[in-house]
Copies of this chain bind each other. A is one copy, B any other.
Amino acid sequence: MSFITKPKVAHPQLPRNELKLTVRDYEGAMSTLCAGCGHDSITGAIMQAAFDLSIPPHRMAKLSGIGCSSKTPAYFASASHGFNTVHGRMPSVATGANAANPELHYIGVSGDGDTLSIGLGQFLHAVRRNLNMLYLIENNGVYGLTKGQFSASADVGSKAKKGDTNQQPPIDPALTLLATGATFIARSFSGDREQLVTLIKAGMKHRGFAVIDVISPCVTFNDHEGSTKSYEFTRKHSMTAIYTDFVPPAKEIRTAYEIGQAMPVQMHDGSQIVLRKADGAYNPTDRVAAFEYIQKHQQAGEIVTGLLYIDETKPDMHELANTPAVPLASLPFATVCPGSKALASIQSRFR
């Protein structure tokens, strides 16, 4: 179906998308996060991307776990159904929801604790199923909502506000995803809106499990001197490995890219992602090369951002399950109930 949410307030000046909606129509409730929290910027980027892609708000489904980050689905797209699950178990809920209805656009928002601590198992199994959704990790290196304990993404030597230093090696989402066969791996920074919006669009168009690990500073518990997830540290140490442009369907690529440097990737709906290497050496379709590159820069204390790896060829969960294009949830009862004759013939085998 194609309903259009009534524009919240008429803003003659505000630009409108193909659905005649303004970006305000993608807003949600007022954020209750701390002023300056990186998560709020990501919320803004999601609204922008959904607006740019002209996605009907009610055709999106927002899912999350528990945490400050997981609260954010309430703060965008109030015309979308939201599902704030239990801590660390959003991937399983998203899997079931997706199995019932492949037509919606699934956006999952989680935190580093929700994804890499309690949720690590479910997260990696969703990767394995190549579940068709966009999964954002709002990564601040701490448990914000429980007041700042280190999470599994905290770097060795990172200092907590209360003083103690993290000793345990971090679980790096990008490297782990490369090893476990993920088909879309990106990293970004809540402070880099332009890159983030493009990556979100690309991720939403990816047919499969698209993960964006977004460094999203916690101003209250992890934005101080000595933190490796602060605004300052991230700004100083992040480097773009690859630039990404998103080209909607029908629009053919105008900008001229230098030969060899530009790499267009065809998405299933006809849109394209064009990758331009910031660093000639980098190849985002080569798992091993990506692994080496990220690892190398990590050891040099650099945070590599951009679309780090993409593979559009892998089948997603529905293709593997050979399910129909229409939602299973919408099949008429007559189609799914075999009826009395079938029951009779089945029973003949039990005499």
Contact = CB atoms under 8 A, between A and B. Distances in A.
Contacts of A176: 176, 179-180
A105 interface: no
A159 interface: no
Interface in A96-144: 117-122, 124-125, 128-129
Interface string A154-180: 000000000000011101100110111
A323 to B, nearest CB: 13
Interface in A278-328: 287-288, 291-292, 295-296, 314-315, 320
A150 to B, nearest CB: 11
Contacts of A320: 167-168
Given A167-B320, A320-B168, A291 B118 contact: no
A324 to B, nearest CB: 17
A287 B294 CA distance: 12
A87 to B, nearest CB: 13
For this chain, the copies found in one complex come to 2
Contacts of A287: 295
Contact of A172 (B179, B292, B295, B315): B179
A44 interface: no
Nearest to A173: B179
Contact of A128 (B171, B288, B291, B292): B171
A295 B287 CA distance: 9
B121 A167 contact: no
A168 B128 contact: yes
A275 interface: no
B288 A296 contact: yes
Interface string A186-205: 00000000000000000000
B129 A120 contact: no
Contact of A118 (B121, B168, B295, B314): B121
Contacts of A296: 288
A181 interface: yes
Contact of A315 (B121, B167, B288, B295): B167
23 contacts: A118-B121, A120-B120, A120-B124, A120-B125, A121-B122, A125-B152, A128-B168, A128-B169, A167-B320, A168-B320, A169-B181, A169-B314, A175-B180, A176-B176, A176-B180, A178-B179, A179-B180, A179-B291, A288-B291, A288-B295, A288-B296, A291-B292, A292-B292
